[in-house]
Structure 1
Amino acid sequence: MAEQGTATFASPDDFSAAIGAARLDLFITAGGDFNGRLTWLNLGGLHVLCGHENLPRIGFLALPPAQAIISFAANREASLTYCGVRMRFGDLVFHGLGERVHLRTDEEGIWGLISLPPALLAACSNALTGQSIRPPLEGQVMRPTLGAAKNLLGPFSKACRLVESKRELISNPEVARALEHELLYALVNCLTVDNVGENPRRIRRHAAVMGRFEEALAARNEPHLNVSELCAAIGVPERTLRQCCTEFLGMSPTRYYLVRRLNKVRAALRRADPETASVAAIARDHHFLELGRFAVAYRAVFHEMPSSTLRRARTKM
């Protein structure tokens, strides 16, 4: 029987944790209450995942090293930027094994992800086309014809709708097997195209810089980011880092550092007991020492005061 399910989340952290083998660090970049939904379907070796998020965000995604993974925007209106490349409708990202990437949305995000063992992909592609398709060393943006892309997005969307509204149908082994074959055939057809978008070498160079940047930020907790010192630590000129951040994140290194830290405070406020916790203590725990400036920055990103976030935590207890 196919494993399937759907769940909704009011916390970006809970949403990220539910993705499973992949690790996703999610940083919200606009105000409002987060609402996310994940829908998943496992068809033998083929795994289908659809994510829906209502707020713009920056995600840093670390993929598992043993799966071939393809991701894409799941509808025409959804925004998705992969490593600085604005994805067109029908574009696919064929990820490298164990790749670490930034995926950004500038508004509501609806994305799809298909994963399968590399051996299964190679066997299916060889049977269908005579070519053994294997994951690239680094991620590539693939641009199949619009017809080929629709042939993949159609059954993908159908599978997600069935999980969300008619789960008993996919419980039928014949239906599940037919859907698996349809998805595999369409996926292989998309991955055999020669049209690779953008410059993969540039993406690879800049993604390596941004991976080192994320590692350096994870080791820091000081109130202000010293960009010159950080650039020396990761071995890139400041101009290069700023260019990469603009492409990948849509903001400067110092702005991203602030947004990361504010998201962590927001998560702590949402988890806290409003009867015993205080905004000042939580802010100081996250190395925000100038509380007035902290409150202004918090409101500018999330469109509410930190005290309002803490008060609302009461309703979630």
Structure 2
Amino acid sequence: MSGAGAIRLEDLDDCEAWLPAGEIKFVFTEPGPFDARVTWAKLPNALILDVTEDLARIAYLALPPDSVFVSFAKGRGKEIIWNGRHIPFGQFLYHAPGERFHQRVPAVSHWGVVAVASEFLASFGSAFAGEGLVPPRTTQVLRPDLKLSTHLLRFHSRIARLSKTRPASLGSHELARSIEHELLLALVPCLVDVSGQSPATVPGQAVMRRFEDLISDPQNWPVSMSELQAKLRVSTEDLRSYCSGFLGVSAGRYILLRRLRLLRKRLLQTGSAPGDISELAKEFGFADLARFSEDYYDAFGESPVESQMRPRRFGA
């Protein structure tokens, strides 16, 4: 079913639940109120997103295996950071289906996505280029001809404006199919322009995937960096370099932020009696309660008690 709209997201739980990734985990790298604005258009076989954010953050994403995703910065001077590699305005990431990766954005960001069902893209590519358009096995960086990239970016912005100002119009199946056709006519030339393509490989990708697998279960959180390095089979220097590039923070800082995020989510979902915050902190491995309170405030700009007083988020 087609449709469109714009939504304001003020909590990471909303963002994780709303964005169309198979899995997504967010952490902030600076305190302050979160404010993201997502404009979307769901077409018969495609989806476009236009996203603005105002806080620096890290996301670990796992894309669905049955769709092709293309992501890009919007606006001169803007960029997105994929696995530590800076992708400036004018370049595009042509993601491998099912890819798992880290995406970072600076404090004020504007980026977009075009996602298309793989089978539909293959059939459209066959009609357009005379052969099926096969998704890449590894993510590619695209640097299409300026005329091609400008056309795609402008059409993406046109769809976003229509989604904001006349969202009901995209409920029309005929109009949605027409727009989807024009979108594919803008997208496919960028994908088949192989002269500007290169593999988006960076050192450490396999290590950082193992790192995320390891810390996905709180029971596996390492008690020391030496334990983490042993489990990942990586040297101190390499781990420091990979985390600096992929995450922009140290491994210890990232694990701390993930622990605080999970604790805050539990606090907002269930609420706690005042004395229970200390028990919750211990459950998440915070033995020093004074240090925990400082870390929590540094991460979220409010105390655990202030978070506790917020309305509960049932089913968040």
TM-score by length of 2: 0.89
State the secondary structure of the residue aligned to 2:152. helix
SS in 2 for 1:33: coil
Distance 1:208 1:316, change over 3 A: closer
Aligned residues of 2:79 and 2:89 also touching (Cα < 8 A): no
Return the offset for 1:274: 6.1
SS at match of 1:107: coil
Name the structure 1 match of 2:187: 187
Q: Distance in 2 between matches of 1:16 and 1:274?
A: 23
Query: Which residue number corresponds to residue 54 of structure 2?
Result: 54
Moved more, 16-25 or 184-193: 16-25
TM-score after normalising by structure 1: 0.89
CA contact 2:281–2:287 (8 Å) conserved in 1: yes
Aligned counterparts, 1:2-21, within 5 A: 2-21=2-21
The equivalent position to 1:285 in structure 2, one of 283, 289, 301, is: 283
Give CA-to-partner distance per residue, 1:123-160, whole Å, 9 cap, x none.
Answer: 22232233533211121221223332221111112112
Say if 1:160 and 1:80 are closer, same or farther in 2 by CA, change over 3 A. same
Q: What is aligned with 2:308?
A: 310
What is the identity, as a one-letter code, of the residue corresponding to 2:255?
A: Y
Q: Which segments of 5 or more consecutive residues in structure 2 lack a partner in the other structure?
A: none
Alpha carbons of structure 1 residues 79 and 269: separation in structure 2 relative to 1, 3 Å:
farther
The CA deviation at 1:8 is 2.6
The CA RMSD measured in Å over matched residues stands at: 2.5
SS at match of 2:204: helix
More deviation, 177-186/61-70 = 177-186
Q: Is the 8 A contact 2:37 2:51 kept in 1?
A: yes
Determine whether 1:259 maps to 2:260.
no
2:225 is matched by which residue type in structure 1?
V
Aligned length: 313
CA contact (8 A) 1:149 1:190 kept: yes
The Cα offsets for residues 205-247 of structure 1, whole Å up to 9 and x where unpaired, read as: 5222111010111234578642222222223223222211111
Aligned partner of 2:239 in structure 1 is 241
Task: Report the counterpart of residue 45 of structure 1 in structure 2.
Answer: 45
Q: Specify the code of the residue in structure 2 equivalent to 1:181.
A: H
Query: Where does 1:46-85 land on structure 2 (aligned, <5 Å)?
Result: 46-85=46-85
Please report how far the alpha carbon of residue 23 of structure 1 lies from its aligned counterpart in structure 2 after TM superposition.
1.1
Residue 272 of structure 1 contacts residue 310 of structure 1 at CA under 8 Å; is this kept in 2?
Answer: no
- Please report how far the alpha carbon of residue 77 of structure 1 lies from its aligned counterpart in structure 2 after TM superposition: 4.9
1:12-31 equivalence runs, <5 A: 12-31=12-31
Task: Give distance in 1, aligned partners of 2:135 and 2:304.
Answer: 44
1:163 deviates by 1.5
Shift of 1:306: 2.6
Residue 273 (structure 1) aligned with residue 300 (structure 2): no
Aligned pair in 2 of structure 1 residues 315, 99: CA closer, same or farther (>3 Å)?
Answer: closer
- Which runs of structure 2 are paired with 1:191-210 in the superposition (5 Å)? 191-193=191-193, 194-196=195-197, 200-201=200-201, 203=202, 205-210=203-208
1:66-110, Cα deviation, whole Å (9 max, x unpaired): 111111123335441011111110211111121100001121233
Q: 1:53 to 1:269 in 2, by over 3 A?
A: farther
Q: Cα distance, 1:309 vs. partner? A: 2.5
Q: 5+ residue gaps in structure 1?
A: none
Cα 1:315–1:135, aligned 2, differ >3 Å: closer, same or farther? closer
Identity %: 33
Query: Which position in structure 2 is the counterpart of 1:128?
Result: 128
**Contact map agreement 2:269 2:312 (CA 8 A) in 1:** no
Partner of residue 213 from structure 1, selected from 211, 214, 217: 211
Q: Is the CA contact (8 Å cut-off) linking 1:221 and 1:286 kept in structure 2? A: no
SS for the counterpart of 1:87 is: strand
TM-superposition CA deviations, 1:240-264 (whole Å, max 9, x none): 2221111110111111111111222
Does structure 2 conserve the Cα–Cα contact (< 8 Å) formed by 1:79 and 1:105? yes
- In the TM superposition, residue 25 of structure 1 has moved relative to its aligned partner by 0.5
